[in-house]
């Protein structure tokens, strides 16, 4: 059985410690895979907004790399271009995915 890949967390704080704006960036990004049903937005388990240590974040499932490689790559490129912190679920940088 293969090892379960840890989810990637993109934090809404830059490498210099500034809060990333706009404040709804995580919902906008996660909306790319969301659906709207019964007057509610339902986020995909592969791409979800969340809060972590008071900052907006996006939880990215590594399996998105296989199912939608273009979206996966564009999300990571966005995070890198905006100098957002990228780590795994344990808060540690993931050398396989980061910079």
Q: Mind giving me the DSSP string for 33-57?
A: G-EEETTEEE--TTEEEEEETTEEE
Res. 3: pLDDT tops 60:
no
User: Average pLDDT for residues 65-75, to the nearest whole number?
Assistant: 95
Per-domain residue ranges of the chain: 8-88
Sheet harboring 55-60: ordered strands across? 47-52, 55-60, 8-14, 84-88
Distances (CA, A) of 9 to 1, 15, 36, 38, 39: 25, 14, 24, 29, 28
Could you tell me the pLDDT band of residue 91, with boundaries at 50, 70 and 90? Answer: low
pLDDT tens by residue, 5-46: 789 999 999 999 999 999 999 999 999 999 999 999 999 999
Q: Quick check: 65 pLDDT over 90?
A: yes
**In angstroms, rounded to a whole number, what is the distance separating the alpha carbons of residues 1 and 15?**
36
Q: Would you tell me which CATH number, out of the four given (3.30.70.2340, 3.40.50.1980, 3.40.640.10, 3.30.70.1150), belongs to the domain 8-88?
A: 3.30.70.2340
* pLDDT higher than threshold 50 for residue 99: no
Looking at residue 97, its pLDDT comes to 53
């Amino acid at each position: 059985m293969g090892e379960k890949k840890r989810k990637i967390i993109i934090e809404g704080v830059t490498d210099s410690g500034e809060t990333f704006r706009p404040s709804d960036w995580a919902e906008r990004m996660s909306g790319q895979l969301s659906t709207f049903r019964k007057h509610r937005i339902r986020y995909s388990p592969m791409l979800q907004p969340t809060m972590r240590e008071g900052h907006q974040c996006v939880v990215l499932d590594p399996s998105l790399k296989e199912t939608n490689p273009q979206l996966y790559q564009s999300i990571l490129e966005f995070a890198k271009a905006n100098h957002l912190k990228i780590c795994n679920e344990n808060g540690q940088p993931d050398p396989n995915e980061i910079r």
